[in-house]
Amino acid sequence: MEMLLSTKGITICLFFFVLSLAAAIEIPLSVVQLPTITEQSHTQVAYPFDEDFTIKCEARGNPQPTFNWTKDGKPFDLLSDPRIVASNNSGTFVIQNRGIITNFQGKYRCFASNVLGTAMSEEIELIVPSVPKFPKEKIEPLDVEHGDSVILHCNPPKGIPPLHIYWMNIDLQHIPQDERVSMSLKGDLYFANVEENDSRSDYCCFAAFPRLRTIVQKMPMTLKVSRFKHANDSGSPNAAVTKANFIKERKPKLLIPPESAGSSSSVTVIKGGVLLLECIAEGLPTPHLSWVKVTGNLPKDEPETENFGKILKIDQVTAADEGTYQCTASNPMGRAKHEFHVHVEEPPRWIKEPEGGVYSVGTNLVLLCEAIGNPEPTIQWKLNGMPIDSKCKVQHPPLGGRISAREISLTNLQLQDSAVYQCEASNKHGTILASANVNVLNIAPLILTSDGENYATVVGYSAFLHCEIFASPAADIRWTKDDSIEPLSTLRYELNKNGTLEIKETKKEDSGSYACWAANSVGKRAITANLDIRDATKLVVTPKNPRVLKSHSILLKCQSEYDSHLKHSFKLSWRKDGDELPVNSTEDGRIILDRDTLFISSAILQDQGVYTCAASTSLDSVTAESQLIVLDVPDPPEDLRLSENQNRSVRLSWKAGASHNSPINESVIEFEENRWEPGRWQELTRAPGNDTTALLSLAPYMNYQFRIVSVNAVGRSQPSKPSLRYATPPAAPEKNPENIRVEASEPNEMVMKWEPLKPMERNGPGLEYKVSWRQRGVEADWNEETVKKHSLTLRNTPTFVPYEIKVQAVNNLGSGPEPNVTIGYSGEDVPDAAPSGVSVDIVNSTLVKVFWFGIPRDRVRGHLRGYKVSWWKTKSMLDGKRHHPEKHFLTFVGDRNYGMIPGLEPFSEFRLTVLAYNAKGDGPESSPIVFETPEGVPEQPRFLRILNFDKDSVTLSWGLPRKANGHLTGYILQYQIINETHEIGPLNDVSVTNHSTLSWRLSGLSSSTKYKFYVKACTVKGCGKPVTEEGLTMAQGSKGIGKISEAVNPTQKFHPIEALEPGTEYTVRLVTKNWVDNNSIFEDVIETRGRAYAGIYDGISTQGWFIGLMCAIALLTLLLLTICFVRRNKGGKYSVKEKEDLHPDPEAQSIKDEIFGEYSDSDEKPLKGSLQSINGDIKATESADSLVDYGEGEHGMFNEDGSFIGAYSGSKEKGSVESTGSSTATFPLHA
């Protein structure tokens, strides 16, 4: 491969293969040499539709050859006819197709001569065909009788083969042919016997010459076939008619070959050609033709016959086809035979052709010429186109030469011995010609390679430095490097026969200047060559051999390194499995090529293969491969077959589907049966991944079909096609029902139930269940009943007594195994006794512990589920007021004799009962007992209000607690400084000992300071939770008095506030009427105008824009009020946790610690520095009862493990209201 680098202007040659060492160098045309025929015509046909015909003959030589022609062995002058156009310096001439050109037909030979000798071409035959025509003739009608044999002759005209003959009627419809009527190879139409329907007047023979583009037609022929002949020629209608030749049955007679040829004939065929042997016979009935080879080797294949068995055809004839063939024509009347003696001959072909060449003076030469053929060819030598006889009577015989029929030996060649020797081998089938140019030369070396050539290659490749030399005698060649005179001789240097220096596995240090020296006895020559070594191109494809799941994506990256000098010639391409990938590999754009990257999205199985990144420069090419493996679920198995059929097993075999590069781990064998669950496929078993057969254990009385799902690491295949069905015979059951149990809804009945057998466990038709039972310890004999369903009901049984029960499966073929005995109880009834010895221990004001004695086992009349404790409040000890009884209860599961009752109201009277219960229901209650709960701590006051603020004092007002839970002893009022950073000051206490006091004035406060106030009610048991409020004292010199207006109608859109001081700041709050929770609906800070500015705005209320503005403000205020009401009704987020942390209820806290556990709320953070002294006087409850002591209420207060999960059953007292803690917005904040 040669490329021209425009930047360097040097020729770069890179050879990727080693030239053959034996390749002969063609003699340069500048060297004196003999003529050599380089191109010639062969047999040619002068078609009448061509304008001219070219006869070619070209030759090379030095001096330039001259050309002469012979025609039919005689000299032919190209100037003899003006229609011949000759070419200068060429033997080629053109014959123009004008007039009659038949005289140009013949065999031509071209001679090319110069002073050294003459070269001769092979014979060139020019065929000038005539236009084929049938002669104009009148053809008499043929009148024959039924059964006669007839031949219609075609006699087609001569023309250029191939020739195709057709017999048709005047409408160009083919004459039907069969064993009776057929056409011979010569084109004649043979009738073995005629029938009346053969009569017609338009038998036409058509001859087609495709090469001449001609079809000719013979005159139509008439054939008349009659069945009877008249006995006389009188023509009288009453003349007697006799039947003549009515029946002409006869044995076969061969028409081809004719009887005159005898019983045998000889046939010669050319080797490699087509052998056609033909036999056509006449007779009645129609004879049948058959062929047989009598002698010689029998053919390997049955010989081919054509034309209804009348032609034996053998293509590509070989010597083995030689022998005797016999055809036999037979009918019921007899037979006729003919033998063909087939001889296989062949035209001459070379065994050894004479070879010429370049020879130096004084050398010897032997020219050989051997050919074979049948008949054996004759060989004739020619010198410069003239025959050489055995006496060497030629124009200038070589000195010391010896000539025989098959060789010419020449010794001590001299310059004048240069000549062209021709050898011609001939037999009757053809002539072949071979020429040998003997060039005797004596010249100094002639270096054909240009001097100063520049070569380049890459490291590691071989470099080839050319030094093509022609010399006679042969020259000695050596190569040197740079300034050295020593020839290159290491193992890496190899000198080829044609003078090329090969440097193997080149290195950077091989760069430099080289010289090629050539010398012989006549002279010497030298040329130089320059070699540059470049860095080799390197490629790496990543990732290497990736594996990707089907429908996933993969990115291949081709990283390359190449010599900077080769940058402009660097090219990169991608191939898949050897085929180059176009830039847009797929129409849907799944495969995207971007120079050095290849991206495949949604990989499919067809994407799998070897991806090759190919890089090439002007000097080298390199590839890097990465095999992409696409993983997918397996293809479904195929060809499911059943074998080894047994009553309870069958062998299933299959052919595994393609695994798609992930080995099959296992095969899931599924079955479907159409007797019990048609259409439902179930897993039967699994087989290891390598197995393709499995012995399946089957159940009786099933009509199976099977399918298989293959599983690999990617997933499951689609199911295979189902196998053929396989039915197993029925059998007795092999197992009995399970999960036998007794259920009853009435006291005097027992319902026995069990899990029915699955369809695969029935084993046969007529499945029933034999149920056996007897009363345990009472009855000795079993009671039995057979049922079809999976339950049996017994009535009039004793209440809750144990029974022994057995259930056995039975079908038409027998019974299952002996069943196990199960113990069950007859129907339950409610308990008929109440617990006794009920007592109550008071734990605290809201919690008591109840004790009782359980009822006897025989009074339970069933399985004891547990006990229920009911209680209800009868009166309050505070006011003696009776209450409407509202029952609550807790359930205690299991056989126990105590329980804890939480959530009671302090300082109240209660009544309590206990009952036992089972699955049937509750038993009678025990007699009620009366107990009283002690006083407890009060609930928080209903509200806390700040009535007015001064700079150093404040008046507080609060409400009574919702529930006092005892006799109030007074209130604890507390306050402390707070600020926006949640830092708080010390807590100050004020004790209010008069329980009827509901307001208090605090003095000695700091001005302009924010405070938080707490008020909690107290009994002898302690103080309850506080209610809180916050407020800001006034600054020095200011005053503030809180005022409350009369009630505002909710439908009002505005409310006037009068008697305000000018130039003063006020806080306005909108609150609910009872102000229970201290939360305002709306709050804002306003400032009244001063007196100095009052006159500015006089009369402004009469302005239209002012009225519109006020209306807009009123509408906006109404909208805000509506939103606030909605949010208020939905409930807000209040700081309950913070208040509970500051003022906990000690009694409630003890219960919470015991029952509910620790309470935590991550959203509510207590104030920093909260004083623990607030709760320091609270003592823990003395109750240490376990949580299991608490029962289950109507709403399920406790889990099975006894943990509390809900409030006890019952509703709150009517009219009770829960109040919550404080609000961070208080009145007033500013004065």
The predicted-structure confidence for 108-130, as pLDDT tens digits, reads as follows 999 999 999 999 999 999 988 88
Residue 502 pLDDT > 50, yes or no? yes
Structure tokens that stand for 1080 in this block: 């305002």
**In 528-599, alpha helices (H):** none
Helix (H) or strand (E) holding 874: strand 864-876
Residue 699 pLDDT > 80, yes or no? yes
Between the CA atoms of 481, 483, 485 and 486, what dihedral angle is there, to the nearest 10 degrees? -50
Which of 1140, 1189, 1196 minimizes the C-alpha distance to 1166?
1140
As a whole number of Å, the end-to-end CA separation of the chain is: 106
Round to whole Å and give the CA distance between 906 and 880: 13
- Give residue 1084's pLDDT band: very low, low, confident or very high (50, 70, 90): low
* Comparison of pLDDT for 1142 and 697, the residue scoring more: 697
Is the peptide bond between 487 and the residue preceding it cis, with omega within 30 degrees of 0?
A: no
- Give residue 1040's pLDDT band: very low, low, confident or very high (50, 70, 90): low
Query: What residues contact residue 448 under an 8 Å CB cut-off, 6+ apart?
Result: 25, 28, 468, 469, 470
Structure tokens that stand for 1013 in this block: 């106030």
Q: For 279-308, what is each residue's pLDDT tens digit? A: 999 999 999 999 998 886 666 566 788 989
- Give residue 848's pLDDT band: very low, low, confident or very high (50, 70, 90): very high
Structure tokens that stand for 1161 in this block: 């709320």
Q: What is the mean pLDDT of residues 208-229?
A: 87
Rg (CA), the chain: 65
1021 and 931 Cβ atoms separated by less than 8 Å: no
According to the model, what pLDDT value does residue 982 have?
64
935 and 1069 Cβ atoms separated by less than 8 Å: no
- Give residue 485's pLDDT band: very low, low, confident or very high (50, 70, 90): confident
**In 1131-1208, alpha helices (H):** 1136-1142, 1146-1151
According to the model, what pLDDT value does residue 1053 have?
66
Round to whole Å and give the CA distance between 224 and 227: 10
Structure tokens that stand for 51 in this block: 């304008």
- Give residue 1129's pLDDT band: very low, low, confident or very high (50, 70, 90): low
Q: For 228-245, what is each residue's pLDDT tens digit? A: 654 444 444 443 333 444
Which of 402, 405, 416 minimizes the C-alpha distance to 359?
416
CA 808 to chain centre: 55
According to the model, what pLDDT value does residue 11 have?
29
1041 and 1051 Cβ atoms separated by less than 8 Å: no
Query: What residues contact residue 58 under an 8 Å CB cut-off, 6+ apart?
Result: 37, 38, 39, 40, 90, 91, 92
Which of 744, 1111, 1080, 730 minimizes the C-alpha distance to 918?
744
* Residue that is written with structure tokens 């409407």 in the block: 884
Longest pairwise C-alpha distance within the chain: 179
Q: For 16-53, what is each residue's pLDDT tens digit? A: 222 232 234 588 888 899 999 999 999 888 888 888 99
According to the model, what pLDDT value does residue 1107 have?
80
- Give residue 1076's pLDDT band: very low, low, confident or very high (50, 70, 90): very low
Query: What residues contact residue 117 under an 8 Å CB cut-off, 6+ apart?
Result: 34, 35, 383, 384, 418, 419, 420, 437
According to the model, what pLDDT value does residue 1105 have?
72
Residue 1177 pLDDT > 70, yes or no? no
Average pLDDT, the chain: 82
Structure tokens that stand for 974 in this block: 């507390």
The DSSP annotation for 618-680 comes to: SS-EEEEEEEEEEE-PPPPPEEEEEES--SSEEEEEEEPPP-TTS-EEEEEEEEEETTTSTT-
pTM greater than 0.85 (yes/no) = no
DSSP code, position 716: B
Range of weakest confidence among 794-808, 965-979, 1068-1082:
1068-1082
Which of 705, 646, 644 minimizes the C-alpha distance to 680?
705
For residue 783, the one-letter residue type is N
According to the model, what pLDDT value does residue 64 have?
93
Round to whole Å and give the CA distance between 695 and 446: 86
**In 484-566, alpha helices (H):** none
Residue 1213 pLDDT > 50, yes or no? no
Percent of the chain with pLDDT over 70: 81
According to the model, what pLDDT value does residue 1055 have?
74
- Give residue 1173's pLDDT band: very low, low, confident or very high (50, 70, 90): very low
Residue 1126 pLDDT > 90, yes or no? no
CA 370 to chain centre: 66
According to the model, what pLDDT value does residue 274 have?
92
Q: For 607-662, what is each residue's pLDDT tens digit? A: 999 999 999 999 999 999 999 999 999 999 999 999 999 999 999 999 999 999 99
Q: What is the mean pLDDT of residues 562-577?
A: 91
- Give residue 885's pLDDT band: very low, low, confident or very high (50, 70, 90): confident
* Comparison of pLDDT for 515 and 1129, the residue scoring more: 515
- Give residue 1038's pLDDT band: very low, low, confident or very high (50, 70, 90): low
Q: For 121-166, what is each residue's pLDDT tens digit? A: 999 999 888 888 888 888 889 999 999 999 999 999 988 889 999 9
Residue 1123 pLDDT > 60, yes or no? yes
